[in-house]
Amino acid sequence: MKKVAIILSGCGVYDGSEIHEAVLTFLALTQQGASYRCFAPNIDQHHVINHVNGEVSEETRNVLVESSRLCRGDVEDIIELREQDFDALIVPGGFGAAKNLSNFAIDSDNYKVSEQVLNAAKAFAKAEKPSGYMCIAPALLPLIYPEGVKGTIGTDNATAALITAKGLTHVNCDVDNVVIDFKNKIVTTPAYMLASNINEANNGITKLVKSVLALT
């Protein structure tokens, strides 16, 4: 049985992991006969968004605690993530990837990946184990892999240009498809960067999961 690590960034599209993307990833992995374990940074979220009205809420929430909502409490601190225990890595999207795993949403010109996430992701890259990144999460790729790494966030040229400036070779991609960088063993899909409903997101995410497992 293939073992996959999943890095979450909270719970909720506007300030954490995109819930549909995370759950569809869990489902696709299970349907493909793979097992998974979830990890998240034990840090405060950048901020908390009221998902009803989109306004910033005056409260503090923890990324690890919020991520536990997605995986029914079965989540571990990312500092416990050991690449040698897994065959692959998958990172769902949502604004949490751009606010909590990195600061892409805050400083897109000079953004960085958080040290804990960077260390974990680079371990998989160094071991030449496959990884899957979806939605906005591919923004992390040029800070993890060598310049020229290939990936997609869909067809948003303005957003793609910001990531390309960091070293990503961006490839436009439809919502139900994936881009595979065979050299670096990376699979990316637009998911909710393009999806207008859960089924559209599911088509690309299922293809990403199958492709990542095929690269192991």
pLDDT at 197: 98
Scored b (16 or more CB within 10 A) or e, 123-157 reads bbbeeebbbbbbbbbbbbbbbbbeeebbbbbbebe
pLDDT at 164: 98
Range of the domain at 210: 3-214
CA dist., res. 108 & res. 136, Å (int): 12
Q: Are 56 and 93 in contact (CB under 8 A)?
A: no
CA dist., res. 98 & res. 47, Å (int): 12
What is the pLDDT averaged over residues 162-184? 98
Active site residue 135: yes
Q: What is the pLDDT of residues 154-164, one digit of tens each?
A: 999 999 999 99
CATH of the domain at 180: 3.40.50.880
Mean pLDDT of the chain: 97
Q: What is the pLDDT of residues 54-98, one digit of tens each?
A: 999 999 999 999 999 999 999 999 999 999 999 999 999 999 999
Q: By mean pLDDT, which of 16-20, 48-52, 140-144, 184-188 is the weakest?
A: 48-52
pLDDT at 9: 98
Q: What CA–CA distances, in Å, run from 128 to 136, 164, 177, 213?
A: 22, 22, 23, 13
Q: Are 141 and 186 in contact (CB under 8 A)?
A: yes
What is the pLDDT averaged over residues 39-57? 95
CA dist., res. 39 & res. 90, Å (int): 11
Active-site residue among 38, 71, 135, 173? 135
SS3 at position 52: coil
Three-state SS string across 170-194, please?
ECCCCCCCCEEECCCCEEEECHHHC
pLDDT at 4: 98
